[in-house]
Amino acid sequence: MSSTKFFSLEETDRDAVIVSPLETVRSFADEQVREEWDELFAMIDNSHARHLILDLGRLSFFGSTMLEWIVVLAKRVKDGGGALVICNATGPTHEVLHIAKFDTLYPITTSRQDALAALPDDSSDA
């Protein structure tokens, strides 16, 4: 697992990486967060995984900046032929995703295990 001050990244055996924003992410305007954002993309690219699981379990709240970040991640993953699945969104974080209608755009599951199960079966791509 790679870990930084604002994000952690973990590889799986399902051609996916799990990205977890940490509670310390307050604003993407913070220069340190922006630098780590670039590092995170480099780590994702170096993993060679197609799919991304976004684990929101360490966040108690977030706003429009995080929603924008999710859209950027989803586009990048989709452009690479993969899928984005969101997991562990509870309480206010799940409410924000629902209000923004992200639950109609991306699968949202209650656990990492369910998120892994929601990934497309890559064996049918052959």
pLDDT in tens for each of the 126 residues of the chain? 555 677 888 988 889 999 998 765 555 556 676 777 777 777 777 778 899 999 999 888 888 878 888 998 899 899 889 999 999 998 899 999 999 999 999 999 999 999 999 999 865 444
The structure's pTM equals 0.85
Is residue 76 one of the residues assigned to a domain?
Answer: yes
Q: Which residues are bridge partners to 21 per DSSP? A: 7
How big is the CA angle at 15 (ends 78 and 74), to the nearest 5 degrees? 20
Strands 16-21 and 2-3, sheet pairing: unpaired
Q: In terms of C-beta density within 10 A (0-12 exposed, 13-18 middle, 19 or more buried), how is residue 12 classed?
A: middle
Q: Looking at the 3D structure of the chain, how many domains does it have?
A: 1
Percentage above 70 pLDDT, the chain: 84
Is residue 97 one of the residues assigned to a domain?
Answer: yes
Is residue 49 one of the residues assigned to a domain?
Answer: yes
Residue 27 DSSP one-character state? -
Domain range for 27 is 2-119
Is residue 126 one of the residues assigned to a domain?
Answer: no
Q: For residue 60, which amino acid is it?
A: S
Is residue 89 one of the residues assigned to a domain?
Answer: yes
CATH number of the domain where residue 88 is located: 3.30.750.24
Residue-averaged pLDDT of the chain:
84
